[in-house]
Amino acid sequence: MGTFSRFDAFRALGCRRGRHGARLLEALAETTAGSPDGPQAWAPQVAERLGLPAAAGLGPATFYADLAAPHGRRHVRVCAAAACFAARAGRHLTEVENALGVRAGDVDREAGVSLQAVRCLGFCYASPGCLDGDTPCTGPTLVDQLAGRLPSVAPEIPAHDATGDPVVLAGIVAGEESWKVWPETVAAGTPGRIQAEVAASGLRGRGGAGFPVAAKWGAAGGSPDTVLVANGDEGDPGSYADRLLMEADPARVLEGLALACLACGARRAVVLVRSEYPRALARMRAAVQDAYADGHLGRAVHGGDVHLDIEVVEGAGSYVAGEETALIAGLEGGRGCARPRPPYPTRQGLWDAPTVVNNVETLAAVPWIVRRGGDAYARRGTPAEAGTKLVCLSERFARPGCYEVELGTPVIRIVTESGGGLREGAELGALQVGGPLGGFLPPDGLDVPLTEADLARRGAALGHAGLVAFDRRVTAREVLRHVWEFAASESCGACSPCRVGSRRGLEIAAAGAPPGEEYARLLRVMGQGSLCAFGRRVPAAVRSLARAYGDELGGWDR
């Protein structure tokens, strides 16, 4: 690889806007690594070294899970999210605690070992999983791998195309090279064509919100100050599509991001990769270096008048921080709490600059659309919801993995034909669709097209389109409690309906008594009064779960 010099657009923009917290999270992460003490012992000093008040360090250090957790010389992160919970009914967490001799959230100072329970590591297809440092260990022999009795097991993500003409998996399953559309588009000098083709395609955001991509780009107004953010903070437990793309085809993600920048008139972009994906982080950083060395990024790209700089930034662990306003707050060095809108990020986002946030899978579709045309993409899927979607099947399926399907494909076909049903002939109790806030379908309710509108009519949501199967080894009440535990753990605390409601909901669910009027009122307040979609979606998710299990959870759907 050739050498290159690169302008640090991320740091420069923060300084120009008078915000010196651009590297705060990075500095906090470097300090907490190996520190068994809480943030109060070291966060103020980190902030002061950057010329910031002590509170600026304590705020994010006590908010983000990676920073707040104590770290021994050996730090193990064990997944406690949906797919891993479903694989062993959550028993693996206790087994790991016993094997390491330390409880989750604590550190053995003498042995130098710490354990942190996290919400998804992207190994949902090989659950349960953990990271021993940055070394993954997965599967039924997880404890033996951690104890050194067996070598670590980390299978590659199985990737399959079910469409006959893959879009986002074109490089992974069909061998299509990346960085072929970008040079031609730069040479043609027609950024308007990118916008036009994406508008014609009907492409919507694949991160869960489903907002029309071309409309979001247009809302930024074409300002040269615009910042593009590739959101790789894939927090929905059960989904590992973004991890697959960033690890196996990072150049396609970057090419899509570059095309988006050109369409928006932006000269700088940021790729945020969640800390739970260390391999994806390394692959994305290497891909950025290669792109600079090959002349795809930097000043006067391919000899033209396009200037583009891209920076890769590591997240710090928080589900809500994947929401675009919370993500922006984190990039600025603050707590990852959702912000009220308006103003919308496209008008006032990262350091008050116009900001467009697109999900990794969304961007990976852009090169195909620009090359093949928006009309070709619009013919895929359904008239109302065009295109394809990556669907991730959890470990309970006979054939787990990531499948590219056309929107509108019946869920029952994905479960039976792609997934092969449940492994070992197990009986399905409920199917979680689109993450913990997406919703649940009963075994006899899978004859629904995979579209946002059709799933919404069944009380579910598309989300990232992760499918997590809960078989009959896990009881309905265990699943209900698991959902409330996730809500209570991951609420950012910015608004009282969600902060108080999620904790009280967990208390009621854990008590096991039949729900009363307080529970019904709690769900109403959370659904109507929460600041962001997280709190608003929790009631819908628990109601759909109660409906999926029927009499087993009678009364919990009120």
Give the pLDDT confidence of 479-504 residue by residue, as tens digits.
999 999 999 998 888 889 999 999 99
**Tokens (6 digits) for 213:** 């991509």
Phi, psi of 157, rounded to the nearest 5 degrees: -75, 120
In whole angstroms, what is the distance from residue 141 CA to residue 123 CA? 14
Percent of the chain with pLDDT over 70: 96
The reported pLDDT for the residue numbered 534 is: 87
- Is the Cα dihedral 84, 85, 86, 89 positive or negative? positive
More confidently predicted of 32 and 179: 179
Segment 364-391 shows an average pLDDT of 97
Task: Report how far apart, in Å, the C-alpha atoms of 310 and of each of 8, 233, 348, 482, 506 are.
Answer: 8, 17, 20, 38, 42
- With both helix axes pointing from N to C terminus, report the angle between 250-264 and 278-293 in degrees, rounded to the nearest 10: 60
Domains identified in the chain and CATH numbers: 74-146 (3.40.30.10), 164-378 (3.40.50.11540), 388-471 (3.10.20.600), 474-558 (1.20.1440.230)
Task: With a cut of 50, say whether residue 2 has pLDDT above it.
Answer: no
In whole angstroms, what is the distance from residue 486 CA to residue 468 CA? 15
Task: Report how far apart, in Å, the C-alpha atoms of 336 and of each of 331, 374, 514 are.
Answer: 9, 35, 35
Average pLDDT of every residue of the chain? 92
Task: With a cut of 50, say whether residue 13 has pLDDT above it.
Answer: no
In whole angstroms, what is the distance from residue 394 CA to residue 124 CA? 5
Residues 62-94 pLDDT 10s = 999 899 999 999 999 999 999 999 999 999 999
Task: With a cut of 50, say whether residue 17 has pLDDT above it.
Answer: no
Strand 401-406 to strand 113-118: parallel, antiparallel, or no bridges (unpaired)?
A: unpaired
**Tokens (6 digits) for 498:** 């969600």
Q: Among candidates 127, 130, 21, 25, which has minimal Cα distance to 401?
A: 127
Task: With a cut of 70, say whether residue 6 has pLDDT above it.
Answer: no
CA dihedral 453, 200, 263, 229 (to 10 degrees): 20
In whole angstroms, what is the distance from residue 299 CA to residue 47 CA? 33
Report whether 394 contacts 125 (CB < 8 A): yes
The reported pLDDT for the residue numbered 23 is: 82
pLDDT confidence band for 16 (50 / 70 / 90): very low
The reported pLDDT for the residue numbered 20 is: 52
The reported pLDDT for the residue numbered 22 is: 60
Residues 107-134 pLDDT 10s = 999 999 999 999 899 999 999 999 999 9
In whole angstroms, what is the distance from residue 118 CA to residue 315 CA? 13
Neighbours of 175 (CB within 10 A): 7
**Tokens (6 digits) for 479:** 């699943």
Instruction: Report which DSSP code applies to 212.
Output: B
The reported pLDDT for the residue numbered 393 is: 98
The reported pLDDT for the residue numbered 11 is: 52
Task: With a cut of 80, say whether residue 208 has pLDDT above it.
Answer: no
The 8 Å CB, 24+ separation contacts for 85-88 are 85/474, 85/482, 86/127, 86/394, 86/395, 86/396, 86/468, 86/469, 86/470, 86/471, 86/474, 87/127, 87/128, 87/394, 87/395, 87/396, 88/127, 88/128
The reported pLDDT for the residue numbered 18 is: 44
**Tokens (6 digits) for 302:** 């391919």
Q: Among candidates 215, 494, 204, which has minimal Cα distance to 329?
A: 494
The reported pLDDT for the residue numbered 532 is: 85
Least confidently predicted of 26-35, 165-174, 294-303, 416-425: 26-35
DSSP 343-400: SPTTTS-GGGS-EEEEEHHHHHHHHHHHHH-HHHHHTSB-SSSBSEEEEEE-TTBSS-
Segment 292-305 shows an average pLDDT of 94
Instruction: Report which DSSP code applies to 155.
Output: P
Q: Where are the alpha helices (DSSP H) in 384-495?
A: 411-413, 452-457, 476-490
The reported pLDDT for the residue numbered 544 is: 94
Percent of the chain with pLDDT over 90: 78
pLDDT confidence band for 25 (50 / 70 / 90): confident
92: left (phi over 0), alpha (psi -120 to 50) or beta: alpha
Task: With a cut of 70, say whether residue 416 has pLDDT above it.
Answer: yes
The reported pLDDT for the residue numbered 7 is: 47
**Tokens (6 digits) for 114:** 């710490």
Using alpha carbons only, what angle is made at residue 212 by residues 242 and 411, rounded to the nearest 5 degrees?
Answer: 55
The reported pLDDT for the residue numbered 533 is: 84
Residues 36-46 pLDDT 10s = 999 999 999 99
Task: Report how far apart, in Å, the C-alpha atoms of 60 and of each of 40, 50, 419, 487 are.
Answer: 11, 14, 40, 20
Segment 244-256 shows an average pLDDT of 98
